[in-house]
């Protein structure tokens, strides 16, 4: 009984990146690696029905995508609200670069200066976080009801 369309059990299979071959000359030309042990299963791609093109990164159906966008918007708006509250608290504590001295900072000025520098860095990170969240929000399609925060409200 002959083997037609199927690979004989003693054939060697070579992996060439994401492709497989059992042709020795092709494997040598592409510097493929011999696969030892294990089986290789090749699944043929299914063609999409006519009229529906498959695009990499294709969006879901319109209602599903609107729901995903709405959920993403709600999550980002909640994150923005928390980030703005955190920013406000940091600014209050930072007190325009003159925060209150705490405990040992009254005797050790360097500890105070280190804490002030850390606070300033935290304020910078917080501002960057807020800007990033706003960028993400601006990438989402707008809702009919509008957004909780406009792109210009930062503080």
The predicted-structure confidence for 32-41, as pLDDT tens digits, reads as follows 888 876 666 7
**pLDDT digit string, tens, across residues 120-142:** 999 999 999 999 999 999 998 87
What distances in angstroms separate CA 63 from CA 49, 66, 122, one per listed residue?
Answer: 21, 5, 40
| Phi and psi torsions of 92, nearest 5° | -65, -45
Q: What is the pLDDT of residue 35?
A: 81
| Phi and psi torsions of 10, nearest 5° | -95, 5
Tell me how far apart the alpha carbons of residues 37 and 32 are, in angstroms, rounded to a whole number. 16
Tell me which long-range contacts 55-62 makes (C-beta under 8 A, separation of at least 24).
none
Comparing 119 with 21, which gets the higher pLDDT?
119
Exposure class string for 88-102: b at 16+ Cβ within 10 A, else e: eebeeeeeeeeeeee
Domain map (residue ranges) of the chain: 62-139
**pLDDT digit string, tens, across residues 56-108:** 555 567 888 888 888 999 999 999 999 999 999 999 999 988 999 998 888 99
Tell me how far apart the alpha carbons of residues 90 and 118 are, in angstroms, rounded to a whole number. 11
């Amino acid at each position: 009984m002959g083997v037609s369309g199927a690979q004989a059990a003693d054939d060697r299979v070579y992996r060439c990146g994401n492709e497989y071959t059992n042709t020795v000359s092709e494997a040598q030309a592409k510097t493929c690696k011999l696969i030892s042990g294990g089986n290789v299963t090749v699944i043929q791609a299914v063609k999409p029905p006519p009229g529906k093109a498959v695009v990499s990164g294709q969006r879901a159906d319109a209602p599903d995508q609107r729901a995903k966008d709405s959920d993403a918007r709600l999550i980002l708006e909640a994150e923005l609200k928390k980030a703005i509250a955190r920013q406000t608290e940091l600014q209050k504590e930072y007190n325009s670069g003159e925060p209150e001295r705490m405990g040992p900072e009254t005797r050790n000025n360097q500890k105070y200066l280190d804490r002030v520098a850390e606070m300033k860095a935290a304020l910078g990170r917080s501002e960057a976080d807020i800007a990033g969240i706003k960028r993400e929000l601006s990438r989402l399609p707008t809702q009919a009801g509008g957004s909780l925060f406009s792109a210009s409200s930062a503080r």
